[in-house]
């Protein structure tokens, strides 16, 4: 028997917004330099416990930059989704804080 939690309208909205992000690329795009001259672009990211650097061909630089912005947007939405689902699972209880007494 499987149980599915439909979730709140807010969580469904967040999932829909995550799905609408066209390109998601983890990492940071940096200029590759030789002295003062820019020789291209590279994508830097942490993968499999190490730093990975990849050359980004000139025609893909704009797409990869949009992808890294899409990743940042996705992560913000994912954090908001976790907060909404957590609030659904653990509703706040007024007066649930421990009351301190003076001795």
Read off the pTM. 0.76
How many Cβ atoms are within 10 Å of 88's Cβ, its own excluded? 13
Burial (CB count <10 Å: 0-12, 13-18, 19+), residue 56: buried
Instruction: Kindly state the tokens that stand for 61.
Output: 């630089």
**How far apart (Å, rounded) are the C-alpha atoms in residues 44 and 85?**
32
pLDDT at 16: 96
Q: Contact at 8 Å (CB) between 25 and 33?
A: no
Supply the angle between the helices 61-89 and 9-19 in degrees, to the nearest 10: 170
* pLDDT (tens place) for every residue of the chain, 103 residues total: 444 456 688 999 999 999 999 999 999 999 988 888 888 899 999 999 999 999 999 899 999 999 999 999 999 999 999 999 998 888 776 655 666 777 7
pLDDT at 34: 84
pLDDT at 102: 76
Exposure of 50 in the CB half-sphere (CA atoms within 13 A): 3
């Amino acid at each position: 028997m499987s149980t599915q939690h439909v979730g709140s309208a807010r969580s469904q909205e967040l999932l829909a917004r995550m799905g609408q992000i066209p390109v998601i690329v983890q990492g940071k795009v940096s200029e590759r330099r030789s002295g003062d001259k820019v020789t291209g672009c590279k994508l830097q990211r942490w993968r499999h416990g190490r730093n990975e650097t990849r050359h980004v061909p000139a025609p893909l630089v704009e797409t990869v930059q949009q992808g890294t912005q899409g990743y940042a947007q996705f992560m913000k939405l994912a954090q908001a989704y976790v907060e909404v689902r957590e609030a659904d699972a653990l509703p706040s209880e007024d007066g649930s804080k421990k009351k301190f007494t003076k001795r």
